[in-house]
Amino acid sequence: MNTALYEFLRSQVPEECIKKDEPMGKHTTFRVGGNADFFVEIGSSEELVNIIKYLKETDHSYFILGNGSNLLVGDKGYEGVILHLGDRFARIRIEDDVVTAQAGALLSTVAKAAAKNGLTGLEFASGIPGTIGGAMVMNAGAYDGEMKQVVTQVTVMTEQGEILELDNETMEFGYRTSIVKNRPLIVLWAQMTLAKGDMREIQEKMDDFGNRRRSKQPLEYPSAGSTFKRPEGYFAGKLIMDAGLRGYRIGGAQVSEKHCGFIINVGNASAADISELMDEVVEKVKDQFAVTLEPEVIRIGGF
């Protein structure tokens, strides 16, 4: 164990917020992954900036983690520090029609809080498994809704600790991308402006989206949701199906028979199984249709 690093982390956060050799399968929706050297629950932007400054000065690797819903950690684990923006970084404020949430707040929780306050506009997000921070990075969306439609301001931090307020235009939201994905910026807060609505209608819409999601997606298996971005002019799931890959399997990883756009862990998959299957899907679709699928899933650590 790196004693100096551990002692520094202890000086910044409560000891119970630091875990050593933490299995990353506990923190990703694929439910796979080796151990991270250190796993730290962050509770404030001050903790975050102090730790990042130290890690950069001492040349330690780090990764900012939300809900782990778009992440595949290698079986050999992660040599460095996972900085988790979770329950300690998940406050939600609602004033009139404005919802402000910290990066660690679950998107589904924020959507439900908005609904309880009679605010409409986030129903599409009620079934998305990520956090507000991840939603800003990826411009999360579903059912013709996306974060760019409701976000008015995002508070981010640079690696040097500078706090910036970015408006909707400055965020450069695009399909599964934003300025935060393309630059070393860390989401702290997001502000969303919604509209007043009828609570019953909002709940009915959320229930409808939930029913549609359950009927069409393999939610009974660990996965990262849609594994690939939608190629322009195509649907990833249909390309994969047309390539004859429905149910295709490597080890415990499988192309879902229910929705070919999902790679699922059908039991005791390794990260290597999932990674290899992703690569094979990309290769076979490209060979047959000359379309290159781009994974939404981020891979970190040793495979």
Sequence letter at residue 26: K
3-class DSSP assignment, residue 219 = coil
What backbone torsions phi and psi does residue 210 show, to the nearest 5 degrees?
-65, -40
3-state secondary structure of 87: helix
Helix, strand, or coil (residue 96): coil
Length of the chain: 303
Q: Which residues are catalytic?
A: 176, 226, 296
Beta strand segments in 135-222, E: 141-142, 145-146, 151-158, 163-167, 185-193, 195-196
- What are the tokens at 248? 């295709």
Angle among Cα 78, 252, 274 to the nearest 5 degrees reads: 45
Q: Write out 237-264 in H/E/C secondary structure.
A: HHHHHHCCCCCCEECCEEECCCCCCCEE
Decide if 115 contacts 123 (C-beta within 8 A). yes
Which amino acid, one-letter code, is at 19? K
